[in-house]
Amino acid sequence: MSRFRLDVPRESRGVYDCIVVGAGPAGLTAAIYLARFNVNVIIVSKDIGGQMALAPLIDDYPGVPSVPGVKLAEMFEEHVKKYGVPIIVGDSVKTITRENNVWCVETEGGRRLCSYIVILAIGSIKRRLNVPGEDRLIGRGISYCAICDGPFFRNKVVAVVGGGNSALTSALYLATIAKKVYLIHRRDSFRAFPYYVEKIRSNQKIEPIINSIVVEILGENKVTGVRIRNVISGEEKILEVDGVFIEIGSEPPKELLKSIGLELDEMGYVAVNHDMSTNLPGIYACGDVAGGKHKYRFEQIITAAAEGAIAADAAYKYLLKIKG
Ligand code: NAP
């Protein structure tokens, strides 16, 4: 019998077969595969697309040579909708608990959904710089999302902090809007792909400031500058800027993951097996939130999507076992 036509009932006394939490590339792909397995699946997510939707331009997803992140996210969503999967957007998971042999997901918005399987695809949380001025000036010139806030800085001077792919792609995007972009990085070489480093070097509007950290963000009611320190000479100076874009990576939502009882790796990501299963029966993790010794960490849309597909396949087989 075809794996795609096995008889798994779509409704089961109000209990879903699977709740996918998160609608980035991992969660949306998991939902596509589960729907094709005829599994009764629902998605709950705070947004659509996750980090993918915040990428100014995606130029490494095969078959789609160049596309804004938000557009690719829409394409994933359309694909999910083709299979009729319900998506609850604008709500985040608060707790996941085991009750009467099913998992129950409670959301910040007061929803309560139960299922045999949960696929966690909740990504990670943007890291803060934790310097004076940051808390006070968030939304007043400090941003963690170039694509969301970049247009407010037309013909202005901005700084991007970080040396990874997110920082460099943000700097390149901001250079199409702002008058000048400082790229402040704590080391002398960039972690980002050489492709982006070369583009940064040849962009007249971008001035890389290496071996430097931001020690304070200045301004009373709005950002007016950043105080930076050269980590080699110790010299400090002020750069006058109108905006600061912080792109220094992200961290897993450790407290939530711990509260579920999931085994985490040393960085706080969910320790997954090769099939994305976790230490808890029926809970799978995929995409950026997944970690552990079996995970090859290469945070790309294509790898997140692949992990979503693997989680869906493994979850489907588990479902067949427990439902008989
Ligand atoms: P990331 O790769 O972890 O880079 C974070 C950067 O911030 C690093 O350069 C790091 O410096 C710096 N940093 C970290 N903590 C800092 C601090 N407290 N103060 C100053 N600098 C600090 O994070 P990301 O750029 O957000 O990317 C996340 C993942 O998504 C990566 O795997 C990335 O490859 C992937 N991604 C891929 C693409 C693409 O393929 N087109 C685009 C965006 C993101 P050090 O280098 O010194 O550690």
Q: Is residue 197 part of a domain?
A: yes
Q: Is residue 3 part of a domain?
A: no
109 and 23 part of one domain: yes
Considering 246, 270, 290, which residue would you say is the last residue of a domain? 246
249 lines ligand 1 (CB under 6 A): yes
The DSSP result for 122-176, as a single string, is ---EEPP---TTHHHHBTTTEES-HHHHGGGGTT-EEEEE-SSHHHHHHHHHHTT
Residues 6+ apart with CB under 8 A from 160: 146, 167, 170, 171, 174, 181, 182, 183, 184, 244, 245, 247
Q: Is residue 6 part of a domain?
A: no
Q: For residues 270-288, give the mean pLDDT.
A: 98
- Cα–ligand 1 centroid distance for 79 (angstroms): 30
Phi, psi of 290 (to 5 degrees): -85, 140
290 and 143 part of one domain: no
Q: Which structural domain, as residue segments, surrounds residue 231?
A: 134-246
Considering 246, 273, 303, which residue would you say is the last residue of a domain? 246
Amino acid 12: pLDDT: 40
Amino acid 283: pLDDT: 98
CATH of residue 44's domain is 3.50.50.60
Q: For residues 105-129, give the mean pLDDT.
A: 97
271 and 204 part of one domain: no
Distance CA 163, CA 169 (A): 10
Q: Is residue 180 part of a domain?
A: yes
* 199-209 confidence digits (pLDDT tens): 999 999 999 99
Q: For residues 148-160, give the mean pLDDT.
A: 97
* pLDDT above 50: residue 190: yes
Tokens of residue 131, six digits: 């310097």
* 70-94 confidence digits (pLDDT tens): 999 999 999 999 999 999 999 999 9
Distance CA 3, CA 163 (A): 45
31 and 91 part of one domain: yes
101 and 154 part of one domain: no
Average pLDDT of every residue of the chain: 94
256 and 112 part of one domain: yes
Residue 14: pLDDT band (50, 70, 90) is confident
Tokens of residue 313, six digits: 């396949």
User: How do 87-89 and 112-120 pair as beta strands?
Assistant: unpaired
Amino acid 324: pLDDT: 73
CA nearest neighbour of 168 among 126, 200, 123, 135 = 200
Q: For residues 284-312, give the mean pLDDT.
A: 97
Dihedral sign for Cα atoms in the order 125, 108, 257, 10: negative
Q: Is residue 235 part of a domain?
A: yes
Dihedral sign for Cα atoms in the order 317, 318, 319, 321: positive
162 lines ligand 1 (CB under 6 A): yes
Residue 323: pLDDT band (50, 70, 90) is confident
* pLDDT above 90: residue 13: no
Q: Is residue 70 part of a domain?
A: yes
23 and 121 part of one domain: yes
Q: Is residue 312 part of a domain?
A: yes
- Cα–ligand 1 centroid distance for 162 (angstroms): 6
Amino acid 9: pLDDT: 40
122 and 264 part of one domain: yes
Where is pLDDT greater, at 4 or 53?
53
From the alpha carbon of 247, which atom of ligand 1 is closest? Answer: 26
Where is pLDDT greater, at 12 or 236?
236
Say if residues 257 and 171 touch (Cβ distance below 8 Å).
Answer: no
Say if residues 200 and 182 touch (Cβ distance below 8 Å).
Answer: no
183, β-bridge pairs = 160, 208
Phi, psi of 246 (to 5 degrees): -95, 115
233 and 255 part of one domain: no
Amino acid 134: pLDDT: 97
* 303-314 confidence digits (pLDDT tens): 999 999 999 999
230 and 197 part of one domain: yes
Amino acid 181: pLDDT: 98
- Unique residue bearing structure tokens 């040579």: 65
* pLDDT above 60: residue 237: yes
The DSSP result for 222-257, as a single string, is S--EEEEEETTT--EEEEE-SEEEE---EE--HHHH
Q: Among 166, 212, 288, which residue has the most ligand 1 atoms within 8 Å of its CB, making it the best to mutate?
A: 166
- Cα–ligand 1 centroid distance for 196 (angstroms): 13
User: How do 283-285 and 87-89 pair as beta strands?
Assistant: unpaired
54 lines ligand 1 (CB under 6 A): no
Considering 225, 246, 267, which residue would you say is the last residue of a domain? 246
165 lines ligand 1 (CB under 6 A): yes
98 lines ligand 1 (CB under 6 A): no
Q: Is residue 210 part of a domain?
A: yes
- In three-state secondary structure terms, 202 is coil
| pTM exceeding 0.85 | yes
187 lines ligand 1 (CB under 6 A): yes
163 lines ligand 1 (CB under 6 A): yes
Amino acid at 102: V
Say if residues 85 and 42 touch (Cβ distance below 8 Å).
Answer: yes
* pLDDT above 50: residue 3: no
**Residues designated catalytic:** 145, 148-149
116 and 260 part of one domain: yes
* pLDDT above 80: residue 146: yes
Q: Among 248, 267, 298, 302, which residue has the most ligand 1 atoms within 8 Å of its CB, making it the best to mutate?
A: 248
Number of domains observed in the structure of the chain: 2
Residue 189: pLDDT band (50, 70, 90) is very high
- Cα–ligand 1 centroid distance for 278 (angstroms): 26
From the alpha carbon of 167, which atom of ligand 1 is closest? Answer: 25
* pLDDT above 70: residue 6: no
Amino acid at 3: R
Q: Among 72, 295, 299, which residue has the most ligand 1 atoms within 8 Å of its CB, making it the best to mutate?
A: 299
Using alpha carbons only, how large is the chain's radius of gyration in Å? 21
Amino acid 113: pLDDT: 96
* pLDDT above 60: residue 279: yes
242 and 190 part of one domain: yes
